[in-house]
Each structure stands twice: as structure tokens, then as C-alpha cells.
Amino acid sequence: IATVRLAQTCPINPRQRGFICCSENLKLLQLLVKSAKQEHRDLGVVFVDIAKAFNTVCHQHIIAGLVQRGVDSHVVHLVGEMYRNITTYIV
């Protein structure tokens, strides 16, 4: 639901795969693998995080951008809650 609402006010470039539902990415990968097998072709897959946006963009700027784009306040609140009091531990 959040993805659909965000896509209405913040369209994502078709080349961007990071914010697309994981199942859609998996279906695309499965289709590519199946096609390569059927056609007896080599297939190489590379996953690249060029910008590392979540490491470099302040979470408050993300929220401010959503508000500026006119995203529904409930979705903005949901995104804000996802970032509230989060921590990462490397063991």
C-alpha cells in the first residue's frame, strides 16, 4: 500500500530497482535465469548499490522531501516511524 501511494506522488525511474517490492525483483531475476537457460546463453548478474542513499541522506531530509512532494500524511508518518529509533549492530 505504501509503495503504491508513494509511486503516485514520487514516481521512481524505471532503472531504479531498490525501492520496488522484493517479489517483483525476484520475478524479474527468475525470468532472466529461465530465459538464459532456455536459450542456452550465459548470464551474469550484478547487484550494485552506487549511491548508498540510506547511508548518506539524513532521514529528516527524506521526510521533508515526502512532505514537499505532497505525499499523504499517513504515508509520511509510516515512513517516519520506520526510521525512528533504529540502530544497526555488526557482530
Q: How many CA atoms lie within 13 A of 25 on its CB side?
A: 10
One pLDDT digit (tens) per residue for the chain, 91 residues? 777 777 777 776 666 655 555 667 778 889 999 999 999 999 988 776 555 555 677 888 888 988 998 888 888 898 888 888 877 777 7
Count of other CB atoms within 10 angstroms of residue 6: 20
Write the single-letter amino acid at 73.
S
Q: In angstroms, how far is the first alpha carbon of the chain from the final one?
A: 34
The per-residue pLDDT for 21 is 57
